[in-house]
Structure formats: structure tokens, C-alpha cells
Amino acid sequence: MPKMNLSHLEVSLLFALVLSVVLGITSKKTSQEQINYGLKSFGYFVGALVGLSWLMYLGHR
Amino acid sequence: MAETTNPKESNTGLPLVTVPLAPLLAAAWLIPGGGHFLLNRKTRAVLLFGCVTVSFLAGLMMRGYLFSPQTGDLFTTLIYVGGFIGNLASGVPYLATKGLGYVQPDVAGHVHDYGTKLLVAAGLMNILAIVDAYEIRQGKKL
């Protein structure tokens, strides 16, 4: 099994991507709703990731 | 697998697809997306399979820890039993990994830690997929 070393950002983006797809599929009924929810969910994940990262960075200056 | 479409509609107006419950849940647990595949939702089955498998493989490649159930104080029990359930929920990927002798001690290190989280996350996503397959079977979803 090859080894992989991902950074915190890369793991977070991977996690956000796969979870958004699963949440989209499992949370909504029609295909269009699922796509919209998946995209929105991914956007929220990334937004929260960047926002909280800046918050922690500024809080530790 | 005998699959029949019930001409009756559920109270949501969606057609009921009747696959026996036990094989459906077993397939949904063992093979991520397997329940959706049996219910003829092949695109969703492929996407769910891909997401759970990618998460699980990434966790393995980052040498994540696979939990064994341990009891002790409340937090130890929660973490180890909860983690074990999360791992076990992945189905065949977990069983095959254990069967092929994957052993990774619970060591400190951020990459290992990310891997451990991805392995548990794969199982939790598969639980969502199992519940979704059940809801489709019951006619609550398309």
C-alpha cells in the first residue's frame, strides 16, 4: 500500500468534497436538489475552513 | 436478486421498489452503494461507492488507525467503541483490510491522525447511504 502525506488543507478539502457528495445524495430527493445541496454544502465547508483558519491566525498574532 | 416494482405508490407519490429488506441492508452495508445499486439507482450507487472508497483508501494510505473496541472510563469507551463501529460500518473495505493483516499502532502524528479520521468518516458516510437506501425502499425518496 503506497503511503500518502496530505496537508491539513488537502485533507480538509478531500473530506469536504466526499462528504458534500454523500450529503447531497442522502439529504435531498430530486437530482437537481441533490446537486445544488452538494455544491452549497461544499461551499459552506470551504468557507468555514478558510474563515476559521483566518480567525485562528489573527487570534494568535 | 428478485426485484419488483410495486404498482402502488407511497404516500409521497413515489413508486415503491420492493427488494427484501435484509439483503438490501446487507448489500448496503457490505458494499458502499450496494443498496442503491439493488434499487436501480446506479449513478448514486457509483458516487457513494466512490466517496466511501476514496475516503477509506486515503485513510489507509495515511496509515490511519483501525479501532478495536476497548472499555474503561467513559471517554475511552466512547472513542474506541464509537471508532470501531465507525470503522466496521465501511463493510467489505474494513473486513478486507483486517483480513489482509493491516496493523497500524495508534501513534502520534498529524498524518496518522487525519488517516484515522478519514477511516471513521468512510464508515459514517456508509451509514448515511444505508439509511438512504432504506428510505428509498420505503418509498420516502426517489
Interfacial residues of A (vs B; Cβ cutoff 8 Å): 1-6, 8, 11, 14-15, 18-19, 21-23, 25-26, 29-30
Nearest C-alpha in A relative to B134: A26
pTM summary value: 0.88
| Number of separate helices (H) and strands (E) present in chain A | 2, 0
What pLDDT sits at residue B11? 52
Nearest beta carbon to residue A14 from set B58, B129, B142: B58
For chain B, the DSSP string reads ---EEEEEE-TTSPEEEE--HHHHHHHHHHSTTHHHHHTT-HHHHHHHHHHHHHHHHHHHHTTPPPP----SSHHHHHHHHHHHHHHHTT-HHHHHHHHTT--------HHHHHHHHHHHHHHHHHHHHHHHHHHHHTTS--
Mutate to test the interface with B, among A8, A26, A41, A42 (most CBs of B within 10 A): A26
Instruction: Please give the residue of chain A at the shortest CA–CA distance from B115.
Output: A11
- This complex has an ipTM of 0.91
Min Cα distance B74 → chain A (Å) is: 28
Cβ separation B61–A3 shorter than 8 A: yes
Please indicate whether, in this complex, the C-beta atoms of B128 and A1 are within 8 angstroms of each other: no
Q: How far is A28 from chain B (nearest CA, A)?
A: 8
CA distance B108 to B22: 40
Residue B58 sits at the chain A interface (C-beta within 8 Å) = yes
In tens digits, what is the pLDDT along chain B, a chain of 142 residues?
444 445 455 555 555 668 899 999 999 999 999 999 999 999 999 999 999 999 999 999 999 999 999 999 999 999 999 999 999 999 999 999 999 999 888 788 899 999 999 999 999 999 999 999 999 999 888 8
Residue B118: C-alpha distances to residues A29, B56, B87 (Å): 27, 6, 10
Query: What residues pair up with B9 in beta bridges, in sequence order?
Result: B15
pLDDT confidence of residue B2: 47
Q: State the pLDDT at residue B13.
A: 55
* Closest CB to A5 among B50, B51, B111: B111
Cβ of B28 under 8 Å from any chain A Cβ? no
pLDDT exceeds cutoff 90 at A38: yes
Please state the rounded mean pLDDT for residues A27-34: 92
d(CA A23, CA A42): 10
User: What pLDDT, on the 0 to 100 scale, is given for residue B57?
Assistant: 97
